[in-house]
Amino acid sequence: SKLDGRGTFRFFEPAMDARMQARRQLELDMRHALARREFQLHYQPQMSLASNRLVGCEALIRWRHPERGTVSPLDFIPLAEEIGLIVPIGEWVIRQTCRDAMRWPQPLSVAVNVSPAQFKSDRLVETIVSALSNSGLPAGRLEVEITEGVLLQENDRTLQTLHRLRELGVRVSMDDFGTGYSSLSYLRSFPFDKIKIDRSFVQDMSHKPDGEAIIRAIAGLGKSLGMTTVAEGVETPDQIERIRAEGCTDVQGYLISKPLPADELMTLLAPR
Ligand code: C2E
Ligand code: CA
Ligand code: CA
Ligand code: CA
């Protein structure tokens, strides 16, 4: 540490600088990542508990950074949101997802995550319309997953966008259900097609006494509102049996499959 010009200690500054520097570098790199084709999509299958068959996949972005290796979306999506890059990146996700899904040997549904800044951009509906028509993917196979963040500053336009997607035939899922403050009230403002129960509830189920009660309540809510309920982050056979018993309709998690690169998913889906 040293005294700066104003006589105050600047003890934390070097570490702060290093962090700022790293962030700025990540931002610079991200600005080139699309053109350099460093993004990749992985697809994680979802299984219906009624049929034990795969019914859909969720597209999850990966960034293969030339020096850092694979960067988790948790580490770059928030920054992309902040600096507006999420719009072009999200647009790439939607177009690539539609193209990939058209090549699958089974007509599974495919879900894309749309973050708040992307949802608010006026290009979203246009992008989806053009991605569907360019790829030939039927709108009914595409799902848009949004989190509470999208509805946090809910206004006429947010609802209008949701309704326009619905009119196109695109389905809308509420992601990470139960983790926010007002998940329930959002179900009242918009009729979602699907509720995705956050992984934390599935994990709690095994070691908290009331864990199952929460899953049961959400599954029941979904059933009475006519919504599909997907339990996320299912990792053990024990969890899947409990989830089945509580009445969820679908599951997603490492037990079924990890997110897979497009070609590995094709192998998994190929008729044997
Ligand atoms: P999410 O939408 O809640 O996605 C589920 C996350 O849980 C994924 O992490 C997935 O790999 C992970 N997961 C799935 N099954 C299991 C399991 O059994 N156990 C455990 N421990 N984890 C499991 P991932 O791929 O790292 O993505 C993290 C988050 O990044 C996503 O959370 C989503 O919010 C965001 N994200 C990913 N791709 C995109 C994208 O294309 N656009 C936007 N806007 N956000 C994305
Ligand atoms: Ca999601
Ligand atoms: Ca989720
Ligand atoms: Ca999440």
Span 25-34, pLDDT tens digits:
999 999 999 9
Instruction: Please give the distance, rounded to the nearest whole angstrom, from the Cα atom of residue 57 to the centre of ligand 3.
Output: 13
Q: Is the Cα torsion angle 233, 235, 239, 245 positive or negative in sign?
A: positive
Share of the chain above pLDDT 90, in %: 77
**Residues 94-120: what's their mean pLDDT?**
97
Instruction: Report the pLDDT value the prediction gives residue 147, as an integer from 0 to 100.
Output: 92
Q: Which residue from 113, 121, 204 has its CB within 8 A of the most atoms of ligand 1, so it is best to mutate?
A: 113
Mutational test site, ligand 1, from 46, 60, 114, max ligand atoms within 8 Å of CB = 60
Q: How many CB atoms within 10 Å of residue 77? A: 20
Alpha carbons 207 and 186: distance in angstroms, whole number:
29
Q: Which residues, other chains included, contact 253 with Cβ-Cβ below 8 Å and sequence gap of 6+?
A: 199, 202, 231, 232, 233, 234, 235, 239
0.90 exceeded by pTM = yes
Q: Among the atoms of ligand 1, which is closest to the Cα of residue 115?
A: 44
DSSP line for 167-188: HHT-EEEEEEETSSS-HHHHHH
**Confidence band of 10 (pLDDT split at 50, 70, 90):** low
Q: Which is higher by pLDDT, 181 or 146?
A: 146
Lowest-pLDDT range, 52-66, 118-132, 178-192, 193-207? 178-192
Which percentage of the chain shows pLDDT scores above 70?
95
- Parallel, antiparallel or unpaired: strands 142-146 and 171-177: parallel
When the pLDDT of each residue in the chain is averaged and rounded to a whole number, the result is 92
Task: Among the bound ligands, name the one nearest to the CA of residue 198.
Answer: 3
Instruction: Please state which of the ranges 6-10, 208-212, 214-218 shows the lowest mean pLDDT.
Output: 6-10
Contacts of 186 (CB under 8 A, 6+ apart): 148, 151, 154, 174, 192
The answer to whether residues 102 and 91 touch, using CB atoms and an 8 Å cutoff, is no
Do the beta carbons of residue 202 and residue 231 sit within 8 Å?
yes
**pLDDT higher than 90, residue 51:** yes
Ligand 2 centroid, distance to 113 Cα (angstroms): 5
Cβ(175) – ligand 1 distance below 6 Å: yes
Q: Burial of 136 by CB count in 10 Å (0-12 exposed, 13-18 middle, 19+ buried)?
A: exposed
Q: What is the pLDDT of residues 159-171, one digit of tens each?
A: 999 999 999 999 9
Q: Please tell me the residue having the least CA distance from ligand 1 atom 2.
A: 113
Question: Which residue did the predictor score with more confidence, 51 or 9?
Answer: 51
Confidence check: pLDDT of 141 > 90? yes
